[in-house]
């Protein structure tokens, strides 16, 4: 099984910093609560992408219902280097929905999908999440602009960004023998939108 959570990019303030470290230390807002700052936020990992850095964070937020209690949040921030400055390209947060457990079966991964608006390569689609099973060695994703990216997840986390993509065609979860443990099709070829120039191809050998 794969746990899914969808998020939209969070745009609260224009974030500009002189160094990536300074940018990564900026506060994070809670999912669906842009005025509420997440607590106990820590940077978990960073990944390089073609134009900068993609970072994952963990923090705590109130869920927002009448019996609200602190729940763990997984957040991402995409930073783009422009000259000598680092600018916020996109960000997002989601409440985590699955935890590792030795007493019961769990999903292989838990993930969210973030999007930004724009034209051409200014728009982005982001896949981010955490590995929940020791069987998993890598996550591979095909975006609807034809780009395929892979994260070997050495730290139990994964984060991939594709400039120009508006969606994800499918996600493949690999074991240590490089066999596909799980394949999840998010956009079928029939549901692709050719008007934005991005389409998904038919998947063969689906599990």
Q: Give 39-60 pLDDT, tens digit per residue.
A: 999 999 999 998 889 999 999 9
**What tens digit of pLDDT does each residue of 92-139 get?**
888 886 555 455 555 899 999 998 877 777 789 999 999 999 999 999
Helix, strand, coil fractions of the chain, as percent rounded to 5: 5, 50, 40
Q: Which two tokens stand for residue 107?
A: 């999903």
pLDDT at 198: 75
pLDDT for 69 beyond 70: yes
pLDDT at 107: 81
pLDDT for 187 beyond 60: yes
What is the H or E stretch that residue 37 is in? Answer: strand 33-37
pTM for this model (two decimals): 0.80
Query: Is 7 within 8 Å of 94 (Cβ atoms)?
Result: yes
Residue 4 CB coordination number (10 Å): 17
d(CA 92, CA 29): 9
């Amino acid at each position: 099984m794969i746990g899914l959570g969808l998020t939209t990019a969070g745009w609260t303030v224009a974030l500009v910093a002189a160094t990536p470290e300074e940018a990564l230390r900026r506060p994070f807002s809670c999912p669906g609560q842009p005025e509420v700052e997440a607590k106990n936020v820590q940077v978990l990992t960073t990944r390089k992408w073609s134009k900068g850095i993609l970072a994952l964070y963990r923090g705590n937020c109130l869920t927002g219902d009448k019996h609200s209690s602190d729940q763990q949040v997984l957040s991402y921030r995409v930073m783009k280097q422009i000259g000598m400055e680092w600018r916020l390209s996109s960000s997002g947060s989601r409440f985590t929905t699955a935890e590792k457990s030795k007493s019961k079966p769990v999903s292989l991964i838990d993930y969210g999908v973030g999007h930004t608006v724009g034209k051409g390569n200014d728009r982005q689609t982001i896949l981010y999440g955490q590995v929940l099973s020791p069987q998993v060695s890598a996550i591979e994703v095909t975006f609807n602009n034809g780009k395929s990216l892979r994260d070997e997840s050495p730290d139990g986390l994964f984060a991939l960004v594709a400039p120009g993509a508006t969606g994800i065609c499918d996600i493949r979860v690999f074991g240590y023998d490089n066999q596909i443990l799980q394949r999840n099709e998010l956009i079928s070829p029939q549901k692709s939108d050719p008007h934005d120039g991005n389409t998904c191809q038919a998947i063969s050998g689906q599990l």
